[in-house]
A and B are shown apart, each in its own frame.
Chain A
Amino acid sequence: MDENTLLKIDNLVVKYFLRKSTVEAVNGVSFEIKKGERVGLVGETGAGKTTTALSILDLVSNPPGRIVSGDIYLNGENLRQKSEKEMRKIRGNDIAMIFQDPMTSLNPVLTVGDQIMEVVRLHNDMTKFEAMDKAKEMLELVGIPGERYLEYPHQFSGGMKQRVVIAIALACNPKLLIADEPTSALDVTIQAQVLDLINELRNRLGMSLLLITHDLGVVAETCDKVMIMYAGHIVESGTVDKVYRNIMHPYTSGLFNAIPKLDEDTDRLQPIKGMMPDPSNLPEGCAFCDRCPNAVEACKTRKPELVQVEEDHMVACFNPIKKEA
Chain B
Amino acid sequence: MENNYMLSVKNLKKYFNTPTGVLHAVDDVSFDIPEGTTLGVVGESGCGKSTLGRTVLHLHKKTSGQIFFNGKDISEINKHEFHELRKEMQIIFQDPFSSIDPRMSVRQLIAEPLKIFKLCKSKEEIEKKVKETMDTVGLASRLADSYAHELDGGRRQRIGIGRAIILDPKFIVCDEPVSALDVSIQAQILNLMQDLQAERNLTYIFITHNLSVVKHISNDIMVMYLGCAVEKASSTELFKHQYHPYTKALISAIPRVNLDDKSVRIPIKGELVSPIDPKDQCRFAPRCEYACDKCFASAPTLEEVEPGHFVACHRVRELNNL
A→B interface (CB under 8 Å): 44-45, 157-160, 187-193, 195-196, 214-218, 220-222, 240-241, 244-245, 254-256, 258-263, 265-266, 268-272, 275
Contact = CB atoms under 8 A, between A and B. Distances in A.
Interface residues on B, range: 35 or more
Contacts of A254: 184
B185 A271 contact: yes
Interface stretch (B18-26, B62-70, B111-119, B258-266): B258-266
A59 to B, nearest CB: 24
B58 to A, nearest CB: 28
Contacts of B86: none
Contacts of A275: 152, 154, 185
Contact of A192 (B239, B261, B267): B267
Given A260-B213, A260-B215, A268-B194, A220 B187 contact: no
A271 B184 contact: yes
A259 B191 contact: no
Contacts of B194: 268
A258 B184 contact: yes
Contacts of B255: 191-192, 195, 215, 217-218, 220-222
24 contacts: A44-B183, A158-B45, A187-B209, A188-B44, A189-B250, A193-B267, A196-B265, A215-B255, A217-B256, A218-B255, A220-B256, A221-B255, A244-B257, A244-B259, A254-B184, A255-B183, A259-B183, A260-B213, A260-B217, A262-B239, A262-B254, A266-B216, A268-B191, A271-B188
B27 to A, nearest CB: 19
B190 interface: yes
Instruction: Among B210, B212, B217, find the residue whose CB has the most chain A CB atoms closer than 10 A.
Output: B212
Contacts of B265: 192, 196
Given A190-B44, A217-B255, A271-B187, 20 more contacts: A44-B184, A45-B152, A157-B271, A157-B272, A188-B253, A188-B254, A196-B265, A215-B255, A216-B257, A218-B255, A220-B259, A221-B255, A259-B183, A259-B186, A259-B187, A259-B212, A260-B212, A260-B213, A269-B190, A271-B188
Which 8 residue pairs of A and B lie closest in terms of their CB atoms, listed nearest first? A217-B255, A271-B187, A260-B216, A187-B44, A269-B187, A258-B187, A192-B253, A44-B182
Nearest to B236: A265
A255 B184 contact: yes
B211 A262 contact: yes
Contact of B186 (A159, A193, A258): A258
A258 B183 contact: yes
A217 B253 contact: no
Interface in B101-123: none
Given A189-B249, A266-B216, A217 B271 contact: no
Question: What DSSP secondary structure best describes chain B's contact surface?
Answer: helix
A268 B192 CA distance: 10
Interface string B159-186: 0000000000000000000000011111
Contacts of B272: 157, 187, 190
Interface of B: 44-45, 152-154, 182-188, 190-191, 194, 209-213, 215-217, 236, 239, 249-251, 253-259, 261, 265, 267-268, 271-272
Nearest to B184: A272
A188 B187 contact: no
Contacts of A187: 44-45, 209, 272
A268 B253 CA distance: 25
Contacts of A222: 255
Contacts of A244: 257, 259
A216 B257 CA distance: 6
Contacts of A221: 255-256
Contacts of B212: 259-262
A265 B240 CA distance: 12
A148 to B, nearest CB: 13
A220 B257 contact: yes
A222 B257 CA distance: 11
A265 B215 CA distance: 9
Contact of A269 (B191, B209, B254): B191
B153 A45 contact: yes
A188 B209 contact: yes
Contact of B183 (A158, A214, A261, A266): A214
B1 to A, nearest CB: 34
A307 B249 CA distance: 41
Contact of A241 (B45, B191, B257, B259): B259
Contacts of A188: 44, 209-211, 250, 253-254
A241 B258 CA distance: 10
A256 B183 CA distance: 9
Contacts of B190: 260, 269
A1 B149 CA distance: 46
B191 A271 contact: yes
B253 A261 contact: no
